[in-house]
Amino acid sequence: MVARHLWRTADMAFVLSAGAAVSLALVGCASPSSSASPVGGWGPTASSSPSLTLEESGQFSGTDGCNRLTGSWSQHDHTVQFSQVAATMMACIDVDTWLSGLDHAQVHGDELQVFNSDDSVIGTLAKQ
């Protein structure tokens, strides 16, 4: 009887350990969406809408809806950092040029959340 009880306890410990291992493995597979690759197009393709294209080479290009934007990007943990940003300076009537203030971004699912240098969210672009 004691041997049967010990065997059941050992079985229970194994089952619990296996269940915990599976749970941890599944959590690892469901990594935060902010670690998703930022490579690709973000924002609508209409010419008067803000959009960005992040190339695998570390270069980006885009528009704030009026002005052209170019520069470099790199990913550190969950943050996309923009650098060497250059933009045209056209006067744009009735266009919100928020994207020209980009500093860094984070991927959240199918959206790229864009921040300025004050760490404030200035806008969001949907995955193309």
pLDDT at residue 48 greater than cutoff 80 = yes
Regarding whether 13 and 39 lie in a shared domain, the answer is: no
In this structure, are 15 and 70 located in the same domain?
no
Neighbours of 64 (CB within 10 A): 25
C-alpha to C-alpha distance for 110 and 71, rounded to whole angstroms: 22
* Side-chain half-sphere CA neighbours of 16 within 13 A: 6
The pLDDT-based confidence of 11 (bands split at 50, 70, 90) is: low
Per-residue pLDDT band for 34 (boundaries 50, 70, 90) equals very low
User: How confident is the model over 82-108, as pLDDT tens digits?
Assistant: 999 999 999 889 899 999 999 999 999
103 with 121, same domain?
yes
Both 103 and 44 in a single domain?
yes
Give pLDDT, residue 30. 37
Mean pLDDT estimate for the chain:
81
Domain with residue 92: its CATH number is 2.40.128.270
* 46 and 100 part of one domain: yes
pLDDT of 22 reads 38
- Asked whether residue 107 falls in the same domain as residue 73, the answer is yes
Q: Is 23 a residue whose pLDDT tops 50?
A: no
Domain span at residue 85 reads 35-126
Q: Are residues 18 and 47 in the same domain?
A: no
Give the total number of structural domains in the chain: 2
